[in-house]
Amino acid sequence: MMKRILSIIGLTAVAVVFLATTYHTITVDGNLSDWASDEAFSTSTTGVTWYITWDENYLYLGTSGGNKYEGHIVYIDTDPQPAPNQTSGTGTTTGFTYDGHTPTLPFSADFVAYYKVGYSEFRRWTGSAWSDPFGSVYSYFATGSNDGEARIPWSDITGAGKPDHIYMLCYITSSGGYQYGITPSDAQTDGFGNKTYLHYWGFIVTSGVSPNASGNKDQSLPAQSVSLVAITGNSKVTLVWETGSEFNNAGFEIYRKAQDETDFKYIAGYQTNPELRGLGTSSHGKRYTYTDENVKGGATYVYKIYAVDFNGNRQEFGSITANVVVEIPNKYVLYQNYPNPFNPGTEIRFDLPKSGNVKLEIFNSLGEKVAVLYDGFMEAGYGKVVRWNASGFPSGVYYYRLTADGFVDVKKMVLMK
């Protein structure tokens, strides 16, 4: 399971908003009542609940329930990269052997810890041996209970300060084999008790008090984000994004709000737009595009793209800001209508080098005016479109005339019923 960590590349301005960094600092005293309810991020099948929170100096872990003599295993990837990577970064993709079993990890873990509440021990794996004790970790294990807490300095986890994000895999072990702490049930087994973990949890550790706050934790990210670009021009916005891999990804939904609007509005989705449909589950990614033509020149828009899995879970894939560029033609052009002949509707397109009053009229073959499609102010730009529904008119030859700032042009079209 992973968190959306965005790699945003744009030809337009990109707005990045961080929440206020106020933290819930717990007291490591074995009293789990001081943990906030939304800091419980998983409950295992054996009844062990895991907790997590942090501040600028420490990562806090808590566990409650289960058997105090079972082993609690924690793997953390802290490499500053957009997404966890099995082939790059520091650390290992192979977990240590415990109870005769060796797991395969879904990322390069650069921090491994192990503890047993019943033995009041907390140790770190150094790559070849266990530190005993892990001296700079302040931990407390409640006597006679199954509850334990640990306060781990970020400097011991990362070798430096607090990272921007972490990826975690936690589970508990017993003599009967692995029991899952947070790993989903689709972990694969090789027949010898060795687990291949497919998913994990991710946290952005710069975004405030609650690890489970909306937009901070992701249980099942359908698509790994590689890039997101907004290309503007000709009074439209084209969004281009790329996935690195996809898991159970049904497709994407796009939301938009103008700079002066408060709420995002749905504008497109994979349900009705085939180009937004996902790959399902795939180890490789894909490049997607969507063009928004319903925009105003000179306006600023913010777009949000959500990946949606086949269970209907929506996760934000990325957001980006686009300033709509208005390109101005150097001359008036009236194009041939399309389709032509038509029945009953057609489109008339033209270019305007200057903003001003525009009139578009329809005449029959006798030269009689039968309709005024547009008469008013229009902004300059390419590809202005006016549609005519001629369902109430008889078949025959018609003419359309464009008048704008001294420019006049006429073209012929055929209504064929």
Number of residues assigned to the chain:
417
- 111 and 231, same domain (yes or no): no
Query: Tokens representing 95?
Result: 């977990």
Considering the domain architecture, whether residues 235 and 167 belong to the same structural domain is answered as: no
CB 247 within 8 A of CB 287: no
pLDDT tens digit string along 370-416?
Answer: 999 999 998 888 888 899 999 889 999 999 999 999 999 999 999 99
Q: For strand 188-189 and strand 138-141, is the pairing parallel, antiparallel, or unpaired? A: unpaired
DSSP 114-155: EEEGGGTEEEEB-SSSB-SS-TT-EEEE-TTSS-EEEEEEHH
- Asked whether the predicted pLDDT for residue 215 surpasses 50, the reply is no
Q: Which residue has the higher pLDDT, 224 or 341?
A: 341
User: Is 34 in a helix, a strand, or coil?
Assistant: helix
41 and 78 belong to one structural domain? yes
* Domain end residue (candidates: 212, 236, 258): 212
- Residue 374 has what pLDDT? 92
The answer to whether 26 and 34 are in contact (CB under 8 A) is yes
Residue 87: its pLDDT value, please?
A: 52
pLDDT of residue 416: 93
Q: Does 245 lie in the same domain as 179?
A: no
Nearest to 2 by CA among 217, 156, 277, 310: 217
Question: In the listed set 272, 291, 323, which residue is the last one of a domain according to the structure?
Answer: 323
Share of the chain above pLDDT 90, in %: 28
Q: Does residue 13 fall inside a structural domain?
A: no
DSSP assignment of 197-211 equals: ----EEEETTS-S-T
Task: Output the six-digit token pair for 241.
Answer: 């994004």
Both 260 and 166 in one domain: the answer is: no
pTM: 0.49
In which domain, by residue range, is 287 found? Answer: 223-323
| Shared-domain flag, residues 65 and 146 | yes
User: Which range has highest mean pLDDT (9-13, 75-79, 168-172, 368-372)?
Assistant: 368-372
| Domain limit, last residue, from 212, 231, 264 | 212
DSSP letter at 213? S
- Rounded Cα distance, 410 and 400, in Å: 6
pLDDT at 306 over 80: yes
Identify any residues that bridge with 152 across adjacent strands, giving them in sequence order.
Answer: 59
- Tell me the CATH number at 373: 2.60.40.3080
Phi, psi (deg, nearest 5) at residue 342:
-140, 160
Torsion-angle region of 406 (φ positive above 0: left; ψ -120 to 50: alpha; else: beta) = left
pLDDT in tens, 240-297: 998 877 777 899 999 999 988 989 999 999 999 999 999 987 767 889 999 998 888 7
In a domain, 26, yes or no: no
Domain count within the chain: 3
- Output the CA torsion sign for 76, 82, 84, 86: negative
**CA–CA separation, 333 vs 2, rounded Å?**
52
Same-domain status, 188 and 232: no
Q: Are residues 343 and 257 in the same domain?
A: no
CA angle 325, 327, 332 (to 5 degrees): 155
Task: Tell whether 251 and 356 lie within a shared domain.
Answer: no
